[in-house]
Amino acid sequence: MVDDRGRQEETWHVTGEARRGRGTRARMLACRLCGHRNRVLSGALDLPRCRDCHGPLPWLVDASDVDFAGVADAAALPVLVDLWAPVGPHGPRVIPVMEQVAGDLAGQVKVVKVNVEGAPRLSRRFSVQASPTLLVMEGGRLVACKCGPAPAYEILGWVEQVLPRAVAQLADPRNRG
């Protein structure tokens, strides 16, 4: 489902284990291909696919100091991390850009959003100096870093430049199971 701004309608559900700080959160997303609503877990290890048409779903999740290792470090796909802050001139404007990037890179990259105000350990780990700060990670290691706001097309070009082989291999229809 799409809202009046053209963004995908989403609903968050928290699993019982996540309420106790041990599990993952789930987001309900409508498939861009067929419209079927699907539950996507933040800490899932496999690429999320639509239950009806089996097309790739945008993998956009939130993470914190507590669950970053399970959500981003252990991801099977390359990860684009958005370290953002809700205050300041760019905070709220980055959200729809990252939603668009997640949709455009569905099946190729996992997009993880981290509110740095609630994640001081991650802020120190990645030496965050500006908001937003974008990171590309592969296999739990940092590949590239970019500071400051950017339009979706610029972020897409940067990710494809940083991860050309990974994105090209994942974009190949023969690799989409």
pLDDT attached to residue 173: 54
Ramachandran sector of residue 83 (left: φ over 0; alpha: ψ -120 to 50; beta: rest): beta
- Which CATH number is 10-172 given? 3.40.30.10
Question: Which segments of the chain does DSSP mark as H helices, in order?
Answer: 16-19, 68, 91-104, 120-125, 152-162, 164-171
Chain centroid offset of residue 103 CA:
10
Strand partners, 61: 112
Q: How many helices (H) and strands (E) does the chain have?
A: 6, 8
pLDDT attached to residue 100: 92
The overall longest dimension of the chain from CA atoms, in Å, is: 43
Place of tokens 């370290």: 83
| Candidate from 22-26, 97-101, 129-133, 134-138 with smallest mean pLDDT | 22-26
**Is pLDDT above 50 for 119?**
yes
User: Cα separation of 48 and 58, whole Å?
Assistant: 8
Strands across the sheet containing 141-147: 60-63, 110-115, 79-84, 133-138, 141-147
Domains of the chain by residue range:
10-172
Strands across the sheet containing 37-41: 10-14, 25-30, 37-41
Q: Kindly state the average pLDDT of the residues 133-162.
A: 92
Average pLDDT, the chain: 79
Q: Kindly state the average pLDDT of the residues 15-35.
A: 64
- CA dihedral over 116, 118, 120, 122, signed as positive or negative: negative
Q: Cα angle at 38 between 111 and 99, to 5 degrees?
A: 30
Structure pTM?
0.77
| Cα separations in angstroms, 159 against 75, 109, 136 | 16, 9, 7
**Is pLDDT above 50 for 18?**
no
